[in-house]
Amino acid sequence: MSRANDRDIVKFQYNSDKNLYARQALHRGFSTNKYGWENWVFDQYMFKPNDKVIEFGCGNGSTWANNSNKIPKDIKVTLTDISEGMLSTAESNLLEIEQIIKYCNMDIQNIKYTNSYFDCAIANHMLYHVQNRDLAISEIARILKEDGTFYVTTNSIYNMKGLKNLVMDFDSRLDYSSFSVASEFGLENGAEQLSKHFESVEKLVYEDSLHITEPKPLVDYVLSLEGHVNIQEIMTESRTKEFYQYLKDIILKDGSIDIPKASGMFIAKKPKKLTE
């Protein structure tokens, strides 16, 4: 088990959308690809009339909220998350979207639906937090119809390259270097994991980077990693102010902090069905 999928850390990290929102804010404010990650992700969804759709780890529901005008009128969407706080936030954010018919507190490793029930399943940036991914992916294959599709987003091991060094150059006590979600399930190793339970796996990459011209959103991003990184032990109020000044000085000197991004999506089809 790593800190990426330690159940207690994950529950602490996502008991509300505070940390997730801080990370989303940095990407929304300073991404160089102005089309937008959530727009691109939604564009990949090929929903058919009357599809039953389920999302695991729905978070604050931002992908649906930002694409509400694109959601087909006749699909039925179930949103799930292991965090009651996240589900509550998602429901508050998505009250006007009639296609979302149910919110469920559910673990992807133990899905409470019958075989071949859904047409589409979605898991955005969450499989790397699952302890038993093989079980989770087999559960997805089980609940999908034979022509069903599983949409999965994640990062590359090269995503945000340079940020760890930036943080550790400020304070080497921060154990950021050992934290990697992509080593669990990323663009480099996700297809192999999915292929055990799906006949077809396609990988799509979203081209983007960060051009950061203000220190505070990056400070908030780093602080949002509490639990995954030993933030609480090191980043006292005074140390956080010093970190802000450290980033401000870099931006004043160089004009910006530029960080490459590497994220994408797997589209898995033809689920392998277990024989009795």
In a domain, 73, yes or no: yes
Place of tokens 């077809």: 200
CATH number for position 147: 3.40.50.150
Q: Are 89 and 17 in contact (CB under 8 A)?
A: yes
In a domain, 227, yes or no: no
Beta-bridge mates of residue 164: none
In the predicted model, is pLDDT for residue 116 greater than 70? yes
Domain count, the chain: 1
Q: What is the mean pLDDT of the chain?
A: 93
Q: Are 149 and 52 in contact (CB under 8 A)?
A: no
Question: 60 lies in which domain range?
Answer: 7-159+179-210+261-271
Report residue 276's pLDDT band, with 50, 70 and 90 as the boundaries: very low
Report residue 178's pLDDT band, with 50, 70 and 90 as the boundaries: low
In a domain, 85, yes or no: yes
Give the Cα separation of 92 and 76 in Å (integer): 18
Q: Which residues of 118-148 are buried (b: 16+ CB within 10 A; e: fewer)?
A: bbbbbbbbbbbbbbebeebbbbbbbbbeeeb
In a domain, 144, yes or no: yes
In a domain, 94, yes or no: yes
In a domain, 98, yes or no: yes
CA 42 to chain centre: 14
| Cα dihedral 120→126→129→134 (10° resolution) | 30
pLDDT attached to residue 226: 86
In a domain, 139, yes or no: yes
pLDDT attached to residue 227: 80
Give the Cα separation of 53 and 68 in Å (integer): 15
In a domain, 166, yes or no: no
